Amino acid sequence: MASPVIQFKRGAFANLPALQAGEPALTTDTYELYVGINSTLAGNKFFGSHRYWTRETSSVGSRVNLVEGTSNGSDFVSLKSPDSLAGIVTFTMPGSDGSNGHVLITDGSGNLSFSAPAASSFTLAADSGSNDTFNTGETLTFTGGEGIDTAVTDNTITISAEDASDTNKGVASFNATDFQVISGAVGLSTERIQDIAGAMVTGNTETLITVTYQDADGTIDFEVDNDLANYDNTTSAFITASSTDTLTNKTFDANGTGNSLSNVEVADFAASAIVIESEGIASNDNDSTLPTSAAVKDYTDTAIAAIDLTVSTAGDSGTGSVSTSQTLTVSGTANEIETSASGQSITIGLPDSVTISQNLTVSGNLYVNGSTTQVNTTTTTIEDQLLDLGMVDGSAPSSDLNKDLGVLFNYYTSSAKKAAVYWDDSASRIVLSDDVSESSGVLTAASYAGLEIGSLYVNDCAGASQVIACSGTTRTLENIVVDGGTF
């Protein structure tokens, strides 16, 4: 079960009011907790502050914070315990201050006192030379070697490399155009080598061959001149023909792989290869001639005119037939279906008033455009999971209609009344009323109805969660913030 949240009254320290007995308050700028004693400012008792201590975590020990008077807790000096302890450790501070430069020392039993720091030393060692002992008070000197400089400024020792030269080791830089350095290894740049080789090839001249260096992918393209006019037939394997050459007994294979014919014009055909309109297709049935368009049209018109097509007809009852030389009549039924014919169009539709004496089943959508839809039945069964109210001609409204939306319940108690669950357009909320009146689509509640539920869930700015629950005979609040307000 998610527990409710209780928030103390809170605000700036300067606005802290007189608290009632037992009333808590938190100052949001000084992080202090107060509890009222007797409803007076003097009776506000201080019980703790985040400024003066920090609670331990699962891996970090707690600490006490020393804060100057005006700090809000962002700046402090902390006395912190170790992250883990083997027992109880007590430190006793000295009763008086020590001299300048003294440090705190312990006697091993937790008693602290001030004492001058003890002299100390440590060993110096290097890759070459013998080790040396450095004592407190001595001067430690850093000397640069070949290619290395040293400098001391404001207690800072700077060790840097010198620039390299022909006679001195040091740091050298490489032109990224000519060299590349990978994991400390210096090599010639691949791009630079490609540029040099590309320039050599591109700068050369070959007859009818163009060489180009592609810098983007480091390749060299060789292109042979494909203009046959630039070649001499006496010295090449290509043959060129002029536009007036006549080719005799030649076969053009446009069907072969990669072959094609384009812009081919025919000046004339032999008379024996063409069937014209006056000769007629019917009397020239063979596979060695081609008919003209006029011959094809005459033949087709004659064939179609001779056809008398008969089509069978069938209805819900009875069958029939009609041929192209007859008239097909489409008849309607009074008050159910009406028909009309005009030119080449037959219109079949419903009359203005339709009467259906038996059941009506609509397999598709049903649209009713009118002022009132009245259903006089004992039981109405609706299979839809959602009822979409407030639509305008099948679409969502594009402006505020200033009308309420909901469901009305007619009942009788001393008089005819209406209860309703509806969306109050003016208040923008759902309303439950046990007595409403309606005028032009706007509902007015004379009284409001109660709501009986087993549990309550709320989906708001905090998300979806249960706020009222019950277990056994105990009713509880869940996911609720009890806010004491601000001051």
Residue 280 belongs to what domain range? 272-300
Residue-level pLDDT at 451: 93
For 187-214, how does the pLDDT look when each residue is reduced to its tens digit (9 = 90+)? 777 777 777 777 776 666 667 777 777 7
For 279-320, how does the pLDDT look when each residue is reduced to its tens digit (9 = 90+)? 888 888 887 788 888 888 888 888 777 777 788 888 778 888
Q: Using the 3D structure, point to which of 36, 58, 79 is the last residue of a domain.
A: 79
Residue 181 lies in a domain: no
Spatial distance between the Cα atoms of 401 and 421, rounded to a whole number of angstroms: 19
Give me the residue label for tokens 């060789």.
Answer: 222
Within 10 angstroms of residue 81's Cβ, the number of other Cβ atoms is: 13
Please state, rounded to an integer, the average pLDDT across all residues of the chain.
83
Residue range 379-383: mean pLDDT, rounded: 91
Residue 57 lies in a domain: yes
Residue 400 lies in a domain: no
Give me the residue label for tokens 């290509």.
Answer: 238
Q: What is the DSSP string of 14-41?
A: GG--PPPTT-EEEETTTTEEEE-SSSSS
Higher pLDDT, 269 or 395: 395
Residue 20 lies in a domain: yes
Residue-level pLDDT at 248: 66
Residue 456 lies in a domain: yes
Domain count for the chain: 3
Residue-level pLDDT at 269: 67
Q: What is the DSSP string of 34-73?
A: EE-SSSSSTT-EEEEETTSEE---SSS--EEEE--TT--S
Rg over alpha carbons for the chain, rounded to the nearest Å, is 52
For 431-482, how does the pLDDT look when each residue is reduced to its tens digit (9 = 90+)? 999 999 999 999 999 999 999 998 999 999 989 999 998 888 888 888 887 8
For residue 244, pLDDT over 70 is answered with: no
For 124-155, how does the pLDDT look when each residue is reduced to its tens digit (9 = 90+)? 887 777 888 888 777 888 888 888 888 888 87
Mark out the alpha helices in 138-230 (DSSP H runs).
190-202
Residue 101 lies in a domain: no
Residue 244 lies in a domain: no
**Are 119 and 126 spatial neighbours (Cβ–Cβ below 8 Å)?**
no
Residue 21 lies in a domain: yes
Helix (H, G, I), strand (E, B) or coil at 108: coil
Residue-level pLDDT at 252: 65
> Of 442, 439, 417, which Cα lies nearest the Cα of 431?
442
Spatial distance between the Cα atoms of 390 and 441, rounded to a whole number of angstroms: 11
Spatial distance between the Cα atoms of 202 and 211, rounded to a whole number of angstroms: 5
Higher pLDDT, 79 or 238: 79
Residue range 113-121: mean pLDDT, rounded: 84
For residue 17, pLDDT over 90 is answered with: yes
